[in-house]
Copies of this chain bind each other. A is one copy, B any other.
Amino acid sequence: MSGSYYAVIMAGGGGTRLWPLSRKTRPKQMLRIIEQRSLFQMAVDRLEGLFDPQHILVVTVPDQFQELHEQCPQIPEENFLVEPFPRGTAAVVGLAAVHLARLDAQAVMAVLTADHYIGNQEWFQKLLQVAELVARQDYLVTIGIHPTFAATGYGYIQQGKLQGRYQGVDVFHVVRFKEKPDEFQAQVMLARGDHTWNSGMFIWKVERIRREIRRQMPQLEKALAELETHWGEPSYATVLEKQWEALTPETIDYGIMEGAENVVVIPAGALKWSDVGSWDSLFDVLPADAQGNIVMGGRHFGLDTRQSLVYVGEEHRLIVTIGIRDLVVVDTGDVLLIVRKDEAQKVRQVVEILKENGDEYI
């Protein structure tokens, strides 16, 4: 079939942003934090109707393949591409592009994240449909998230002139990418109103992104070309390992997007997107009770307890909270974390310090 549309889910991340629930060996996308579904499962769920399982690729790492496959057994095993080493999102995209080019040289690929939350599935699918139309015009398509505060942890996309309107969705030419800004720059971009956050989702023709890699990332191109010559042969795995071992890690943003032309952005509007990047972000994602509390696991008895999140891994444990406000409590059995909501970002600092000390709790 020619001109097909594939979803490529990048699921190799090893973040510890929801530590102590997420660990090196149990990254965020695997966690079943929302209605007993993991973020990875939800990333697959939300494609239903638009992509059948045969048209979903998952790029991951050896450690995670087994668990992810068990979480989504409907995706054929051969659709899981396993990188021997993580080499950044540019390599992920390149590997998927090589694979898809063999299936359909005219394919369009939607590069998607495995560990973000999207609340509005219908609108998300609409955006992906529009994105495919625009990608077929040879554009590199990005999805921009409406910024709600002067975040310094995200990349920004500045939009220029309208490229077109499709089924009521506006698409803009991109003026520039701006990687994680400082506080002042973020404030300015927020005030200007013509910047969106880079969602890390991209839609393009397989052939078009391959051309960009050839032009901007010669080392990666060489590795991909080598892979292509061994495609389908017994030597493929060895070649992949050898090439990936030598590859310098790079993100698609730095490696391709900042130097690319004919880039457009689709401002996502009411996508209800969250990167679930820290414990406090769950308040944007999960329903709270009348006191503003989110309770997951355990038995909770709260007296004068408000705007707090309690996660307890052990079902039979009783948690009593009295007189607390804006706290996040996470109990994983071996670790108990208590953090004020507006300091939740500092969990990363703690993880760094524990790492330096060679700690077993990471």
Residue A192 at the chain B interface, CB threshold 8 Å: no
B334 contacts A317, C-beta separation under 8 Å: yes
User: Do A327 and B317 have beta carbons less than 8 Å apart?
Assistant: no
The complex places the Cα of A340 from the Cα of B306 at a distance, in Å, of 12
Given contacts A318-B361, A324-B327, A361-B318, are A303 and B336 in contact (CB under 8 A)? no
Chain B residues within 8 Å of A336, by CB: 298, 312, 317-320, 329, 331, 336
The answer to whether A322 and B335 touch across the interface, beta carbons within 8 angstroms, is no
Contacting residues of chain A (121-165) with chain B, CB-CB under 8 angstroms? none
Total number of A residues with any Cβ neighbor in B under 8 Å: 36
Of the listed stretches A61-69, A83-91, A257-265, A343-351, chain B binds A343-351
Q: Flag if A346 contacts B323 (CB, 8 Å).
A: yes
| Cβ-defined contact, B339 with A323, below 8 A | yes
Which residues of B have CB within 8 Å of A335? Answer: 317-320
Q: Does A301 count as interface, using CB distance less than 8 angstroms?
A: yes
Q: Which residues of B contact A317 (CB under 8 A)?
A: 334-336
The distance in angstroms between the C-alpha atoms of A323 and B349, with both chains bound, is 13
Is A216 engaged at the interface, CB distance under 8 Å to the other chain? no
Q: Which residues of B contact A343 (CB under 8 A)?
A: 303-304, 322-323
A322 to B303, Cβ gap below 8 A? no
